[in-house]
Copies of this chain bind each other. A is one copy, B any other.
Amino acid sequence: VDKVKVAILGATGFTGEKLVEILLKHSKAQAVYLASRILESAPYAQIFTHFSGKTNLNCEPLDIEKAAQISDILFLSLPHTVSMEFAPYLLKKGKKVIDLSADYRLKDTVVYEKYYKVSHKDKVNLKKAVYGMPEIYKKEVKKARLIANPGCYPTSIILALYPLLKQGFIEGKIIADSKSAITGAGRNAITKYPYTDISDNLWVYKAFKHQHVPEVESILKSASNKAVKLLFVPQVIEAKAGIYSTIYVSFKNKVTEEKIRNTYEKYYKNCPFVRLKEDFPKLKETAGTNFCDIGFALTEDGKAAVIASSIDNLIKGAAGCAVQNMNIMCGFEETLGLL
């Protein structure tokens, strides 16, 4: 069988590396082009020596024309504001594009410019971009040519809330207390944090000001048909991988555990990567997987709840979800290469 030919642009970041790892095991896709904004070509297994014995591919200086020529579908694992420089050309050439940056996630360019400090340069494609959260937009993903792959924090928060908001249960502001492994900051950023700063540590950063707030609020608004206010407090923890969000909501009316459980089960019935837990999820159980585990508890009066969701930030929160989107776009089984 002919495999789908894929390119990974930005193959040396944490997300790019995870994409290569997943795609090398994929039975219906073949990585044919790895590129990064580097100066000279080098064997990928020389840059990341743990790939030795797994691939002979080179990682090359990014050549967008070559990328378009030899691949059918392209993952853009590039920094925010860089993706939108390359996506238009690729789309014009008829390629499918899965963008893992924030460039196509926010429909409102004013908000984009507020958080990312540059003007949006590709408003035409922005309008057509599909938010690649398969649990919510599978139909749209199937037909999409440009996917805006969700952010890691938003994935953990939106999947925990969407069914309950869709059902109209929640009222008032929502609090998301999210804990993330340091890898979420990206390969360049984490050089600021030597081992001694992370081990045995934990701290709040960017409280109420993180750039993922508008992404979450806009998707949740589409669920509830009215504005949703999110108080988002991200925290760094010592962990190899993962995001664990504890989310606090109030209900319009008293609810029962059964009602909430049924709502989740019904909504995620056909979602192979969402697991509703009997108890609360454990961060370690989603590490290294594409699963999002969800658990919850109600207050005694049934008027409020804490919902916890757990994902691997680099897999379900980035590379794994991107491959899940590719599977759907290509008509493959949704779980291919991801279980």
A-side residues, CB < 8 A to B, are: 24-25, 27, 49-50, 52-54, 173, 175, 177, 179, 182-183, 190-191, 193-205, 207-208, 231, 233, 235, 237-242, 244, 246, 248, 272-273, 275, 277, 280-289, 291, 295, 297-300, 304, 306, 308, 310, 339
Closest chain B CB from A262 CB (angstroms): 18
Q: List 28 A-B contacts (CB under 8 A).
A: A49-B277, A49-B285, A53-B272, A54-B339, A173-B304, A179-B237, A182-B195, A190-B195, A190-B196, A194-B195, A195-B198, A196-B240, A197-B284, A199-B240, A200-B242, A200-B283, A202-B237, A203-B281, A204-B280, A204-B297, A204-B308, A207-B280, A208-B298, A208-B299, A208-B306, A231-B299, A238-B238, A240-B240
Instruction: Closest B residue to A246 by CB, please name it.
Output: B177
Instruction: Closest B residue to A203 by CB, please name it.
Output: B282
B275 touches A201 (CB 8 A): no
Copy count, this protein chain: 4
Instruction: Closest B residue to A198 by CB, please name it.
Output: B195
Check A273/B53 contact, CB under 8 A, given A201-B282, A208-B299, A233-B246.
Answer: yes
Contacts of A194 in B (CB 8 A): 182, 190-191, 193-195
Check A246/B204 contact, CB under 8 A, given A182-B195, A237-B237, A272-B53.
Answer: yes
Closest chain B CB from A246 CB (angstroms): 5
Closest chain B CB from A301 CB (angstroms): 10
A248 touches B175 (CB 8 A): yes
Given contacts A191-B194, A203-B280, 10 further A-B contacts (CB under 8 A): A50-B285, A53-B275, A177-B248, A193-B195, A200-B283, A201-B283, A203-B244, A204-B246, A204-B295, A240-B240
Contacts of A283 in B (CB 8 A): 200-203
Complex Cα spacing A219 to B52, Å: 28
Contacts of A273 in B (CB 8 A): 53
B27 touches A27 (CB 8 A): yes
Instruction: Closest B residue to A183 by CB, please name it.
Output: B196
Closest 7 CB pairs of A and B: A204-B280, A195-B198, A50-B285, A207-B297, A201-B284, A202-B283, A177-B177
